[in-house]
A and B are shown apart, each in its own frame.
Chain A
Amino acid sequence: MTANAHALAAYNQRKGFLSWLWTWLSTVDHKRIAILYLFGGGLFFVIGGIEALLIRIQLAVPQNDFLVGSTYNEVVTMHGTTMIFLAAMPLVFAMMNAVVPLQIGARDVAFPFVNALGFWLFFLGGIVLNTSWFLGGAPAGGWTAYAPLTTEFLGTGSDFYLLGLQLSGAGTLMGAINFMVTIINMRAPGMTFMRMPLFTWTSLITSTLILFAFPPLTVGFFLEFFDHIFHANFFNTAKGGNAIIFEHIFWIFGHPEVYILVLPAFGIISEVVATFSKKRLFGYTSMVFATVLIGFLSFMVWVHHMFTVGLGPMANSLFALATMTIAVPTGMKIFNWLFTMWGGQIHFTTANLFAVGFVPTFVMGGVTGVMLAVPSADSQYHDSYFVIAHFHYVIIGGVVFGLLAGLFYWWPKMFGKILNETLGKITFWTFFIGFHLTFFPQHFLGLIGMPRRYFTYFPDEGFNTWNLISSIGAIGMAIGAIVLVINIVITTAKGQKAAGDAWGIGRTLEWSIPSPPPEYNFAQTPLVKGIDTFWKEKMEGNKKVTPAEPLGDIHMPNPTILPFLMSIALTIAAYGFIFANQTSASRPLCLVIAAFGIGLMLLLMLIHSIKDDPGFHYHKEEIIEIEKGAE
């Protein structure tokens, strides 16, 4: 018996909860890791959403005392941090994991072990951050964690922020390297770079951006961490440090981060719009070019987050012009989407409704972005509700709409069942209308003088009506999200089973295999003949994609618990450092615990290096049987 047969037999014998848990904790299959990311990201999205509702309750009426002072700051900080690092990022990774290997005709990612490690680091990092609520208070310095407020004026919350994000940031960086290697090295024969589906392209560029953007963040957080725990004074001006430097480091990461999130959303929109227009993507080459250009420019514009810091007119002007240039490739994309639909046959499925709703919403976020690029006018917009409106139009209207489009579009591929379309449409309309109702008024709030991160305002400032409308709109978004959860539960219980080509008009390779795909994805590696190769084959009357190899044994990696254990080890280290700061009496003990966690990590790395793991094989006969069952 092969190792695989052993594992399967063992699994079939004990089907209890523990063995179920074990398969998830030890999985290295990209499709299962995608589901883990979806679960983790979804969980934190709900938490972040509840925090958003608390904010809107506090601001619904002037001089409310529901959340006051530092409590409000904690909620605001956790809302931003959770949504960016713990919801949007993992949901992007969920999509990448679920789809990219399938789109390029690969059997898994390049480093399945690292893939699992990346997920567990992200997830446990998020847990560490969120336990701050129960262990001495959440971070309260804003998601930007400016020094010296975060480093010298706030308590343990800062440590939870710095160490929690350090863990999940490491996971993200690993994931990015993994996807770069996967996309560059593991494409099926014939899949040249200029034949890659656009979502794969945007995943590649996003991974590259992460590779360059996350190291600065890691360094910045390490310096803050040393300041906060060991009084290193990097950002303490009284001791010769410089507080502004942290703002630079943060935004050198922070601006690319926006594109890290939105580029995959662009990719999803490109796939969904093309599929549901029954047309190939208009201007594919310029779309790829625009993606690369946006990625490049995203590193040249960070100072537009710092126009009011006082860097002088020369720096401000240069970065203003650089910022404006980003509008050009972004505009190209918008027109390409419109002209993909032009002359097509637009199907209004829920997935496509989100994609179609994305276009005008993102345009609005884009034009306010150009307005914000004007430094002297920005000195009025900056840190006001105008900015809040702008980046929610970009991040909800762009990233979340994109992710929801992708979720409805690829759900059948991930789970083998199509999400209920009626409930899906209810989600779209409540979420879409709720969103505009919440954030459109915030443009005006900013212009008439309301700053962000204010827990209260006076009744005589003219902010009352807009704030009330905004809070009412948030209810719509909440209803949309609840209906989505209900939809997922109902579909899982008794959804309609999906075919391999679930929508009947799929264009790319993922639709050429069963839903959900078998563990090895492709029984035979496909031969790619052009852009939208599956569509091409279908137009030529073929039901399947031409294989590039004869049917044979498939080598697969073994499941392993080591990535999970490694993440636990680093989590122990993180808690050690966090509590080292809480009471001076237990400080030595806590530092010992931290050292133990790091030691355990090194030990596990050693075990992983020494242990010989040859993986297992799916034999030809097994594959034939599995493929028959899928048909």
Chain B
Amino acid sequence: MKRSWLLLRFLPISGLVALLSGCGVKGVSALIPMGKEAREQAWLMYLSLGIMVIVILVVASIYFYVLIRFHKRKGQEDYIPKQTEGNKILEIVWTVIPILLLCIIAVPTVKQTFAQSDTDVPKSQKKDVLQVDVTAHQFWWDFKYPDQKIETAQDVVVPVGKTVIFKITSADVVHSFWVPALGGKIDANPGQTTKLKLTPENEGVYRGRCAELCGSSHALMYFNVKVVSQSEFDQWVDGMKKGPEAPATASAQEGQELFKQNCMSCHAVGKEGGPVAPNLTDFADRKMIAGTLDHNKENLIKWITNPDAVKPGANMPARGMNKNLTDEQIQKIADYLFTLSVK
């Protein structure tokens, strides 16, 4: 038997390790942390990974030594190895050393678990944190700012450098709120509120997603976290409070009327409209249509015309609540919706 095959078998793995050049895409990946919590978590990942790599190296060295040194050779058919029962000292060594290694991981683990779960804000510091109430729905996200008294959906805007406490619940099934670049996830449970603390440290747009199987379009339940400067954030809040300006073109004005008749029992713009579906106050400023398509009119029309084709199982009826909007009317509604900007 040749020896070389023993090494060959691990070629695929070592090849893959060599391939590990990037850490994913910025804004999507947990390995490119953009917030305090994600940074701390990445540190703990690397610590535990480092210790585990040591364990793997020790095991691998013994493993390869044993396989190469003790494999059966020709002419040894009658050889009977010594029937060893065990070795107390060795057995104690490989019990105690893992315990010590685990202690090295355990201490920072417990420390960080408590630190990151601490979402109680003393009254004196209330001004320094932003609270956002999140409600997960099949298959979209609702964001309320209780202190600012504004509401938006799909794209949540937060200021850089400030701690944000998300209070999260669900309107239907269990979802999970995850923004890998800013920090770990927490579940959105029906009938309960969970809290998640995130402190973005860099401006940018970070992808958020649902991480608990919630139905047909679980994979399409994206949202975005827009981290902006404090002044930009204040401007946005003012804009949201005022609401978007009235549409200027005739088409958009007609679209507004149609929207009121066909969409507003579920969707709200500003303070008007229903709470069942996403609030559209700053619709034109958002990054994606229905959380999945590129943000343009063509896609919006596609979505209104046949939501199920874009997002299977979505609760939005095709062609408005009365299901009778014509292509022309949908075009006008799209014109109107693209005027909904608070910039």
Contacts and interface: CB of A to CB of B under 8 A. Distances in A.
B102 interface: yes
Contacts of A339: 84, 87, 90
A607 interface: no
B246 interface: no
A539 B16 CA distance: 47
Interface stretch (A123-131, A373-381, A623-631): A373-381
A325 B30 contact: no
B66 A461 contact: no
A148 B173 contact: yes
Interface stretch (A30-38, A447-455, A508-516, A584-592): A447-455
Contact of A341 (B67, B173, B215): B67
Nearest to B40: A376
Contacts of B18: none
Interface residues of A, number: 98
Given A243-B189, A378-B184, A449-B29, A363 B59 contact: yes
B53 to A, nearest CB: 8
Contacts of A374: 44-45, 48, 105, 109, 112
A557 interface: no
A534 B17 CA distance: 46
Interface string A448-476: 11010111110011100000010000000
A345 B76 contact: yes
B187 A308 contact: yes
B31 A379 contact: no
B70 A376 contact: no
B102 A243 contact: no
Contact of A244 (B24, B189, B214): B189
A285 B85 CA distance: 9
A70 B312 contact: yes
Contacts of A72: 219
A136 interface: no
Contacts, number: 299
A206 B259 CA distance: 62
A343 B189 contact: no
A383 B211 contact: yes
Given A335-B94, A348-B1, A370-B52, A376 B113 contact: yes
B209 interface: yes
A605 to B, nearest CB: 39
Contacts of A454: 218-219
B70 A277 contact: yes
Nearest to B212: A383
Nearest to A434: B12
Contacts of B49: 371
A371 B209 CA distance: 23
Nearest to B209: A451
Contacts of A346: 66-67, 70-72
A283 B44 contact: no
B71 A348 contact: yes
B190 A341 contact: no
A550 interface: no
A280 B63 contact: no
A320 to B, nearest CB: 6
B98 interface: yes
Given A383-B211, A440-B16, A462-B29, A342 B66 contact: yes
Interface in A243-296: 243-244, 277-280, 282-286
Nearest to B23: A448
B110 interface: yes
Interface string B159-190: 00000000000001110101011011111011
B219 A282 contact: no
Contacts of A437: 12, 16
A375 B109 contact: yes
Interface string A355-370: 0110110011001101
Of residues B62, B81, B195, which shows the largest number of chain A Cβ atoms within 10 Å of its Cβ?
B81
A344 interface: yes
Interface in A300-332: 308-310, 312-313, 316-317, 320-321, 324-325, 327-328, 331-332
A68 interface: yes
A439 to B, nearest CB: 11
A332 B116 CA distance: 34
A272 to B, nearest CB: 15
A500 interface: no
Contacts of B95: 328, 331-332
Contacts of A283: 85-87, 91
Main secondary structure of the interface of B (DSSP, over half): mixed
A487 interface: no
A377 B41 contact: yes
A335 B37 CA distance: 37
Contacts of B325: none
B99 interface: yes
B22 interface: yes
A146 interface: yes
Interface string A133-145: 0000000111000
Interface string B4-18: 000001101100100
Contact of A344 (B62, B70, B214): B70
Contact of A153 (B10, B70, B184, B215): B215
Nearest to B94: A335
B214 A310 contact: no
Centre residue among A69, A377, A451 by max chain B CB count within 10 A: A377
B141 to A, nearest CB: 15
Interface string B85-123: 111001100110011001001100110111011100000
Interface in B34-58: 37-38, 40-42, 44-45, 48-49, 52, 55-56
B31 A448 contact: yes
A455 B12 CA distance: 27
A166 interface: no
A337 to B, nearest CB: 9
Interface string B205-226: 0010111111111111000000
Given A244-B192, A342-B66, A380-B41, A320 B211 contact: no
A448 B90 contact: no
Interface centre among A149, A327, A380 (most CB of B within 10 A): A380
A320 B189 CA distance: 22
Interface string B302-342: 00000000001100000000000000000000000000000
Contacts of B79: 278, 345
A310 B187 contact: yes
A447 B70 contact: no
Nearest to B31: A447
8 contacts: A72-B219, A148-B173, A316-B113, A338-B62, A370-B105, A374-B105, A376-B40, A376-B41
Given A338-B59, A363-B55, 4 more contacts: A320-B113, A356-B67, A447-B31, A453-B213
List the 4 closest A-B pairs by CB distance, nearest first. Answer: A379-B184, A448-B24, A237-B191, A69-B312
Interface of A: 68-70, 72-73, 140-142, 146, 148-149, 152-153, 237-238, 242-244, 277-280, 282-286, 308-310, 312-313, 316-317, 320-321, 324-325, 327-328, 331-332, 334-336, 338-339, 341-348, 356-357, 359-360, 363-364, 367-368, 370-371, 373-380, 382-384, 429, 432-433, 436-437, 440-441, 444, 447-449, 451, 453-457, 460-462, 469, 539
